[in-house]
């Protein structure tokens, strides 16, 4: 019923551990701040740790334990290799920012203790690998030197530290690694200045660029002398115009320069001359150098050729020789190769074989060995941006003759297999085949719609620009699509998914599709990109590069004759653009022209504005689908006392069953239900930092409920001594929000419910009979109904990462709040616990209604964790989707891990539970029938006896 999948994210660094006998593993760090040890045979996770959000991993290496450097070079941790237990943790201090470097020198050992060298924050630290003790520290920031490289000199205990002071002074320090003693210090100025990365070509020579980026500077610092040598890129026969950069690499005697969209491999000859060895396009990727058997070096080059990927392993320094050349078929949905790491192994004939770990554009991780993909991991799923759902196809009833024949054969084969299985004659392959058949025909993983609406497709958009469709039954990937990259846009980012077409009444032949909105670049003014993806086939139907931006996307509640939903895109000039661009859409839009309102929240300026459509765009180019807008209202928060930190509105597709709420005193309360309700939370600017940064006296939290059509503030409440972060959820007529109370130093959750007073008089029966009620009056935001609000506040133990509320098909079932806690678990909390009518001593009638006696804190019942003993590491969001069955809601929680389950907040009252005993029911029926017959016979006999008497 529920499934849980573990991911790690896009791999940044990888270190192999294959020397010893036993488990072969690769330790990786990723862009999701995950450190993981993977099984090299199958790609499974041995252990994994998700670091904090700000704890970005800078480097990883193995020295006895796994060593990681993170948090901009300020945290050094060691993890036990077999089980991932943290062994020690060291904090490195420094005053200035500098490039974090981690170096574990070979052969530098003092009684088993090997040394770890870390250059970070302007200092060089030597750390013991046993307990993380800092042995010595050398401050280079005092001499205003920015360290570029730390180099071990020929496996001795001497190290070179090279860096720049300013942009033109070059420094080289020779240091004894054992005690930090400075052996030698040389400095020299280079008039051209340095820029960019350095590439080390040997232990005493490096190459960098001058400030004009047209001259390669070879710096050699051997024999206590620094010598510069300049080589014009044009002298190498290359056009140096455009973006030139040196790529960091660790090849001996060779380095890589990227110019525009191709890469140059340049070699340093024995006469200290530079020569171009090879020129490739920019899609080619080179691995770091790998040292194997007695100082031999090798590196891998990965090139693309059509649908294939060519992997060549070359010995160091010799470009024309190949150790291994393999070509593997690659799914084009994986995109380009982004990174490659290589490792060697001994074949049975004592020759060296190589395996390559490849990171692709879609963030997937592949292990390639002997020309085959041994395993792959879809790690894009660790970075989900947005989720939506799609229905599966309806089961087709008509079947063709060919299909029947085919299926008859299959059916016979299947039954033969099953027979074999029951007679214990099946071979392992047959068993596997039986398993596969069972899985295929099993109810939960079928590819068709089911009666209860449990089977759905979860369409997820990931940071890798890849869209996946996951089957809700077992979580498998049904299809995946890497979004097409157009020439016009270099670095597109995807933002959101919208349901574009969901045919259910008309246009049943059309497949449903989703709209993917992205933009070309990072800023919100960048032009938008739209893609339309068919959710059954996973094909990109269409894609547009727009001329305008998309600051806000609004799905409208109207669809055209093919059930395409109308969408409005607001650009940064506050113009709106209508999609789809059809005349039908425009005619629908014209009819509703005056009924379209929306709001915008400018959190930086502290303004909330309401907008309406004004007229067609007046431009040189006549665009029928572009409209000017006007500002209807605006709420300006005083910048010096209030800062917007959260704005939450109701889910557009939420269903409310009834407006009336009958209380225990046979009284009726009318919920104020408006789709145009916005919850806004502001805090004191001083208290907008982390917890504890502000005094309780200068911190406050103000919450507002705003009608987004008129801008009317329906409710305002101030919590003194409270601060964010605020997580809120708005549903029906209530809002629940979570914040921090500085006075009590605990988290709190508040609930506010809004009731419509103007309908309160309707309970008079006489009025109802006489028809003098206003129940049929249309609900409009322009009428200003009298409203009352009720609030209550409770303590809540944990920090919260996400809050959601269950949603069901008809809104009859009671609601549960789904709270993603700091421990990456999802807690289901009954809404009844957050009811402002709770009191300390509820009356008997109230108890019958289900009101729980008031307590100061919300209970955390371990059994109500929907994730049970699983963790959704790095939890970011929770999505709830109603099933067709009213009692049930589908829950999908995502972060680095994925978790899916079905929930029934009021138990499954409309279907039998899974542990319902059908056997017992049958038994009872059979027994009852038998009893009827027995009694019948008995009574007949008896009657006969009576008659004879």
Partner 1 sequence: MASIIRSKSVLSVFFINLFLSLVSSAVAVSSGSGDGFSISGRVKLPGMSLKAFGSPGGKASNVKVVLNGGEHVTFLRPDGYFSFQNMSAGTHLIEVAAIGYFFSPVRVDVSARHPGKVQAALTETRRGLNELVLEQLREEQYYEIREPFSIMSLVKSPMGLMMGFMLVVVFLMPKLMENMDPEEMRRAQEEMRSQGVPSLANLIPGAGRS
Q: How far is the CB of 746 from partner 1 (least distance, A)?
A: 5
Report the residue from 210, 361, 534, 824 that binds partner 1 according to the rule CB under 8 A: 824
Q: Which parts of 108-137 interact with partner 1 (CB under 8 A)?
A: 131, 133-134
Q: Give yes or no for residue 261 binding partner 1 (CB under 8 A).
A: no
- Strand 527-534 and strand 540-549: the pairing is antiparallel
To partner 1, the closest distance from the beta carbon of 823 in angstroms equals 3
Q: How far is the CB of 865 from partner 1 (least distance, A)?
A: 5
Strand partners, 542: 532
693-712: contacts with partner 1 (CB under 8 A): 693
Residues in region 777-806 near partner 1 by CB under 8 A:
797-799, 801
Distances (CA, A) of 167 to 144, 209, 893: 11, 11, 49
Spatial CA neighbour of 153 closest among 215, 110, 106 = 106
Please classify residue 331 by burial: count the beta carbons closer than 10 Å to its beta carbon, then call 0-12 exposed, 13-18 middle and 19+ buried. Answer: middle
Query: Judged by CB under 8 A, which of 5, 6, 68, 90 binds partner 1?
Result: 90
Between 729 and 866, name the residue whose CB sits nearer to partner 1: 866
916 binds partner 1 (CB under 8 A): no
**Dmax (CA) of the chain:** 135
Min dist. Cβ of residue 831 to partner 1 (A): 21
Question: How many CB atoms are located within 10 Å of the residue 879 CB?
Answer: 21
Task: Give the position of tokens 């193995």.
Answer: 62
- Residues near partner 1 (CB under 8 A), total: 68
Which residue has 């690499």 as its token pair?
249
Find, among 217, 249, 243, 240, the residue nearest to 230 by Cα.
217
Work out whether 942 is an interface residue with partner 1 (CB under 8 A): yes
Question: Which of 596, 872 has the CB closer to partner 1?
Answer: 872
118 vs 126: CA distance, rounded Å: 6
Question: In whole angstroms, how close is the CB of 24 to partner 1 at the nearest point?
Answer: 21
What is the Cα–Cα distance from 631 to 109, expressed in whole angstroms? 71
CB of 860 to partner 1, least distance (A): 7
CA dist., res. 909 & res. 897, Å (int) = 31
Smallest distance, Å, CB 878 to partner 1? 17
- Contact between residue 236 and residue 290 where contact means Cβ atoms under 8 Å apart: no
Task: Please select the residue that binds partner 1; options are 41, 44, 93, 332, rule is CB under 8 A.
Answer: 93
Q: Considering the rule CB under 8 A, would residue 947 count as an interface residue with partner 1?
A: yes
Helices and strands (H, E) in the chain, number of each type: 6, 65
Q: What is the closest distance, in whole angstroms, from the C-beta atom of residue 940 to partner 1 in the complex?
A: 6
Q: How far is the CB of 63 from partner 1 (least distance, A)?
A: 18
Q: Does 929 bind partner 1 (CB under 8 A)?
A: no
Task: Give the closest residue to 300 by CA, choosing from 329, 322, 273, 331.
Answer: 322
Is residue 87 involved in binding partner 1 (CB under 8 A)?
yes
Q: For residues 856 and 868, what is the distance between their CA atoms, to the nearest angstrom?
A: 25
130: number of Cβ within 10 Å: 17
Binding status of residue 638 toward partner 1 by CB under 8 A: no
φ, ψ at 623 (rounded to 5°): -125, 110
Pick the closer one to partner 1 by CB: 60 or 209: 60
Candidates 76-84, 292-300, 529-537, 841-849: pick the segment binding partner 1 (CB under 8 A): 76-84
The distance of closest approach from Cβ of residue 740 to partner 1 in the complex, given in angstroms and rounded to an integer, is: 8
DSSP string, 60-76: EEEESEEEEEETTTTEE
Shortest reach from residue 669's CB to partner 1, in Å: 34
Q: Which is nearer to partner 1, 594 or 913 (CB)?
A: 913
Among 508, 920, 945, 948, which residue sits at the site for partner 1 (rule: CB under 8 A)? 920
The reply on whether position 371 binds partner 1 by CB under 8 A is no
36-75 positions binding partner 1, by CB under 8 A: 47, 49, 51-55, 74
Candidates 83, 111, 443, 914; binder of partner 1 (CB under 8 A) is: 83
Question: What value does the CA radius of gyration of the chain take, rounded to a whole number of Å?
Answer: 34
Of these, 822, 845, 912, 929, which contacts partner 1 (CB under 8 A)? 822
CB 355 within 8 A of CB 345: yes
Q: In what order do the strands lie in the sheet with 722-731?
A: 722-731, 734-741, 746-756, 787-796
Residues contacting 1, CB < 8 A, separation 6+: 444, 901, 902, 914
Stretch that binds partner 1, among 78-86, 252-260, 441-449, 645-653 (CB under 8 A): 78-86
For 696, which DSSP code? G
Output phi, psi for 134, to 5 deg. -80, 115
| Nearest-angstrom CA–CA distance, 893 and 873 | 10
List b or e across 257-285, with b for residues whose CB sees 16 or more CB atoms inside 10 angstroms.
bebeeebbbbbbeeeeebeeeeeeeebbb
692 vs 853, beta carbon nearer partner 1: 692
759 interacts with partner 1 by CB under 8 A: no
**Hey, which residues between 274 and 303 contact partner 1 (CB under 8 A)?**
none
Q: Choose, by CB under 8 A, the member of 431, 639, 655, 744 that binds partner 1.
A: 744
* Contact residue for partner 1 among 84, 473, 492, 721 (CB under 8 A): 84
Given the complex with partner 1, which of 487 and 915 has the nearer CB atom?
A: 915
Q: Is 927 in the site for partner 1 (CB under 8 A)?
A: yes
Q: Looking at beta carbons only, is 402 or 920 nearer to partner 1?
A: 920
Which CB atom, from 695 or from 764, has the smaller least distance to partner 1? 695
Could you tell me which residues come within 8 angstroms of residue 664 by beta carbon, excluding any fewer than 6 positions away? 843, 845, 846, 848, 849, 851
Give the residue with the Cβ less far from partner 1, 65 or 571: 65
In this structure, the chain runs to a length of: 949
- 817-843: buried (b, 16+ CB within 10 Å) or exposed (e) per residue? bbbbbeebbbbbbbbebbbebbeeebe
- The one segment of 413-421, 452-460, 676-684, 738-746 that binds partner 1 by CB under 8 A: 738-746
253 binds partner 1 (CB under 8 A): no
CB of 929 to partner 1, least distance (A): 11
Q: How far apart are CA 426 and CA 570, in angstroms?
A: 63
Taking CB under 8 A as the binding criterion, the range among 148-156, 410-418, 462-470, 817-825 that sits at the site for partner 1 is: 817-825
439/931 with CB nearer partner 1:
931
CB of 7 to partner 1, least distance (A): 18
> Which SS3 state, helix, strand or coil, does residue 401 take?
helix
Residues 833-872 that bind partner 1 (CB under 8 A): 857, 860, 862-863, 865, 868-869, 871
Contacts of 841 (CB under 8 A, 6+ apart): 853
3-state secondary structure of 254: strand
Nearer to partner 1, 451 or 947 (CB): 947
Which region among 287-295, 512-520, 544-552, 940-948 touches partner 1 (by CB under 8 A)? 940-948
* 548 near partner 1, rule: CB under 8 A: no
> Which is nearest to 379 in space by CA: 396, 391, 367?
367
The interface region with partner 1, picked from 272-280, 311-319, 835-843, 932-940 by CB under 8 A, is: 932-940
Other Cβ atoms less than 10 A from the Cβ of 343: the count is 23
Contact call for residues 125 and 137 (beta carbons, < 8 A): yes
Minimum CB distance to partner 1, residue 858 (Å): 12
Using CB under 8 A as the criterion, which residues of the chain lie in contact with partner 1 when the complex forms?
Answer: 47, 49, 51-55, 74, 77, 80, 83-91, 93, 131, 133-134, 690-693, 725, 740, 742, 744-747, 797-799, 801, 821-825, 857, 860, 862-863, 865, 868-869, 871, 915, 920-921, 924, 927-928, 931-932, 934-936, 938-940, 942-943, 947
């Amino acid at each position: 019923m529920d499934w849980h999948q573990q991911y790690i994210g896009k791999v940044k660094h990888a270190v192999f551990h294959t020397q010893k006998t036993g488990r072969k593993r690769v330790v990786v760090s990723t862009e999701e701040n995950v450190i993981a040890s993977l099984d090299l045979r199958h790609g499974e996770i041995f252990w994994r740790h998700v670091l904090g959000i700000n704890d970005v991993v800078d480097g990883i290496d193995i020295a006895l334990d796994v060593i990681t450097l993170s948090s901009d070079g300020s945290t050094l941790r060691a993890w036990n290799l077999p089980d991932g237990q943290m062994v020690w943790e060291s904090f490195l201090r420094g005053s200035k920012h500098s490039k974090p470097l981690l170096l574990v020198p070979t052969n530098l050992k003092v009684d088993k203790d090997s040394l770890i060298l870390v250059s970070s924050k302007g200092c060089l630290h030597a750390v013991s690998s046993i307990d993380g003790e800092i042995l010595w520290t050398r401050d280079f920031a005092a001499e205003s030197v920015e360290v570029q490289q730390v180099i071990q000199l020929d496996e001795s205990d001497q190290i070179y530290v090279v860096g720049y002071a300013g942009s033109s002074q070059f420094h080289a320090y020779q240091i004894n690694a054992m005690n930090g003693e400075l052996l030698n210090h040389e400095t020299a100025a280079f008039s051209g200045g340095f820029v960019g990365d350095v590439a080390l070509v040997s232990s005493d020579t490096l190459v960098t660029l001058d400030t004009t980026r047209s001259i390669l500077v070879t710096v050699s610092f051997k024999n206590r002398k620094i010598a510069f040598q300049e080589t014009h890129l044009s002298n190498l026969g290359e056009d140096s115009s455009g973006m030139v950069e040196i790529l960091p690499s660790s090849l001996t005697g060779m380095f890589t320069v990227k110019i525009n969209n191709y890469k140059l491999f340049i070699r340093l000859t024995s006469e200290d001359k530079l020569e171009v060895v090879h020129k490739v396009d920019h899609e080619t990727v080179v691995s770091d150098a790998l040292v194997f058997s007695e100082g031999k070096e090798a590196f891998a080059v990965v090139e693309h050729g059509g649908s294939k990927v060519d992997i060549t392993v070359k010995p160091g320094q010799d470009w024309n020789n190949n150790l291994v050349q393999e070509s593997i078929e690659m799914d084009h949905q994986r995109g380009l190769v982004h990174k490659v790491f290589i490792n060697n192994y001994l074949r049975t004939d004592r020759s060296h074989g190589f395996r390559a770990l490849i990171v692709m554009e879609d963030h997937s991780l592949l292990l390639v060995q002997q020309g085959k993909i041994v395993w792959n991991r879809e790690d894009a799923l660790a970075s989900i941006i947005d989720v939506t759902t799609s229905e599966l196809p309806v089961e087709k009833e008509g079947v063709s003759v060919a299909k029947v024949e085919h299926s008859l054969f299959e059916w016979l084969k299947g039954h033969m297999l099953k027979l074999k299985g029951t007679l214990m004659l099946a071979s392992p392959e047959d068993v596997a085949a039986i398993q596969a058949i069972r899985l295929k025909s099993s109810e939960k993983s079928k590819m068709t719609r089911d009666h209860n609406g449990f089977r759905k497709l979860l369409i997820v958009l990931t940071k890798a620009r890849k869209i996946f469709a996951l089957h809700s039954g077992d979580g498998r990937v049904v299809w995946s699509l890497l979004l097409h990259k157009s020439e016009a846009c270099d670095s597109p980012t995807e933002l959101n998914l919208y349901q574009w077409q969901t045919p259910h009444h008309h246009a049943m032949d059309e497949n449903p599709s989703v709209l993917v909105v992205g933009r070309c670049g990072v800023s919100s003014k960048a032009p938008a990109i739209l893609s339309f993806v068919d959710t059954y086939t996973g094909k990109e139907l269409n894609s547009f590069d727009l001329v305008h931006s998309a600051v806000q996307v609004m799905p409208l509640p109207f669809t055209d004759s093919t059930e395409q939903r109308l969408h409005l895109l607001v650009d940064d000039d506050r113009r709106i653009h209508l999609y789809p661009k059809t005349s039908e859409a425009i005619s629908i839009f014209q009819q509703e022209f005056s009924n379209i309102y929306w709001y915008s929240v400018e959190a930086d300026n502290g303004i909330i504005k309401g907008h309406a459509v004004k007229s067609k765009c007046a431009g040189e180019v006549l665009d029928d689908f572009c409209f000017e807008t006007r500002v209807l209202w605006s709420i300006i928060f005083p910048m010096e006392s209030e800062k917007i930190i959260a704005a939450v509105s109701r889910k557009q597709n939420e269903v409310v069953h009834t407006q009336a709420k009958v209380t225990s005193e046979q009284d009726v309360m009318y919920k104020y239900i408006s789709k145009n309700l916005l919850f806004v939370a502001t805090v004191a600017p001083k208290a907008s930092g982390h917890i504890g940064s502000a005094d309780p006296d200068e911190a406050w939290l103000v919450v507002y409920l705003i009608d987004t059509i008129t801008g009317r503030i329906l409710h305002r409440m101030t919590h003194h001594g409270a601060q964010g972060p605020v997580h809120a959820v708005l549903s029906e007529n209530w809002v629940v929000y979570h914040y921090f109370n500085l006075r009590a130093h605990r988290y709190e959750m508040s609930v506010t419910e809004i009731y419509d007073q103007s309908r309160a008089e309707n309970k008079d029966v006489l009025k109802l009979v006489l028809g003098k009620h206003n129940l049929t009056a249309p609900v409009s935001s322009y009428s200003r109904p009298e409203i009352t609000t009720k609030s209550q506040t409770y303590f809540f133990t944990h920090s919260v990462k996400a809050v959601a509320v269950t949603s069901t098909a008809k809104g009859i079932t009671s609601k549960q709040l789904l709270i993603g806690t700091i421990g990456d678990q999802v807690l289901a909390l009954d809404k009844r616990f957050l009811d402002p009518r709770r009191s300390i001593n509820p009356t008997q009638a109230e108890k019958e209604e289900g009101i729980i006696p008031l307590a100061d804190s919300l209970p955390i019942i371990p059994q109500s964790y929907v994730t049970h003993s699983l963790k959704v590491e790095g939890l970011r969001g929770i999505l709830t989707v109603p099933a067709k069955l009213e009692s049930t809601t589908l829950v999908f929680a995502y972060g680095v891990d994925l978790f899916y389950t079905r929930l029934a907040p009021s138990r499954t009252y409309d279907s039998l539970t899974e542990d319902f005993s059908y056997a017992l029911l049958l038994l009872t029926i059979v027994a009852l029938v038998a009893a009827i017959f027995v009694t019948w016979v008995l009574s007949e006999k008896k009657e006969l006896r009576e008659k004879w008497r």
